[in-house]
Amino acid sequence: VLTQYSGWRVNYPDKSICAVRGFSVSIPCTYYYPTSNPKMRVTQMLWCSMNSNIDVCQDPPYVYNSSSNTKSDFEYVGDDKSNCTLLIHNVQLSYSGEYRFRFITNVPGGRWTGDPGVTLQTA
């Protein structure tokens, strides 16, 4: 069992974020994984909305998937090292809810979801 104490962790500085409909909002996020294995690298970054997903976001749908080139209001402005910030454009009332970041590495079992996530409130 992986725990945050083993070096796997997602950190959201803001547990709740307010946004105004039609504007953009940023969801700051950082993630960590053990650096003891120099060959380990992040191969996939995912953001999911708990409005349409469950548990630890193992399966689609995702609002952002680094393996997909789809353009949407959800833009990943992070990287594959430690920044998992999500930028949401043209916020809609339906975007209210909890969002979680998940990342997958090239190591068997090397995956982690930041749970609980961030709650977005729109007005």
Q: Are 80 and 42 in contact (CB under 8 A)?
A: yes
Whether omega before 13 lies within 30 degrees of 0, making that bond cis, reads no
What residue ranges of the chain have pLDDT lower than 70?
Answer: 1-5
Report CA dihedral (112, 83, 77, 99) to the nearest 10 degrees.
40
pLDDT number for residue 5: 55
Q: How far is CA 34 from the centre of its chain?
A: 18
Gyration radius from the chain CA atoms = 14
Q: Are 24 and 91 in contact (CB under 8 A)?
A: yes
pLDDT number for residue 71: 82
Q: Can you give the residue range of the structural domain that contains 52?
A: 4-122
Domains identified in the chain, total number: 1
- The amino acid at 16: S
3-state secondary structure of 95: helix
pLDDT number for residue 2: 52
Q: pTM for the complete prediction?
A: 0.93
Rounded CA gap, 48 and 52, in Å? 8
Rounded CA gap, 16 and 23, in Å? 17
The enclosing domain of 10 has a CATH number of: 2.60.40.10
